Amino acid sequence: MAVISDDDVISTLNELVATCRDGEEGFHAAAEAAGNPELRGLFLTYAQQRADFRAELEEEIRRLGGDPSTHGSVAGSLHCGWMSVRSAVGGGNDDSVVAEVERGEDSARRAWEAALDRDLPPAIRAMVERQYGRIKEAHDRVRTLRERAA
């Protein structure tokens, strides 16, 4: 399979930028909703991780001559909106917040898997694979927190 065009690479990376933006906002919202200080700290750490991933992706997009996305994804906006409503109505109990974060992490994992299904240039693939590994770690940690609470 031939390597995809720079425009296709930029488009793929911009999808990840939008997902990072969604995750960053979602983790900030989760941190605000969480009552447990350890959860707040964990969610803020993951928000910063997504901001770092976004910056790295944006740098690569600019290097390829593209313009980084400035918006989150439609799915992410709906997810964040739903999370805000749930927190307001449900009192933001930590179990529901963790469950909602896990849903967001499922979406992030799928976005990185879709990007890795593309034939990306080697250096970009390595970056996306490294980020994917960290996203899987975050997802698994959040899933473990949810399972412990169940």
Please tell me the predicted confidence (pLDDT) of residue 9: 96
DSSP letters, 114-138, are: HHHTS---HHHHHHHHHHHHHHHHH
The 10s digit of each residue's pLDDT in 32-53 is 888 999 999 999 999 999 999 9
Question: Could you tell me the domains of the chain?
Answer: 6-65+73-149 (1.20.1260.10)
The 10s digit of each residue's pLDDT in 50-83 is 999 999 999 999 999 999 988 655 554 544 543 5
Residue 120's Cβ-side half-sphere holds a number of Cα atoms within 13 Å equal to: 23
Confidence of residue 96 (pLDDT cuts 50, 70, 90): confident
Please return the burial class of 111, using the count of CB atoms within 10 Å of its CB with bins 0-12, 13-18 and 19+.
Answer: buried
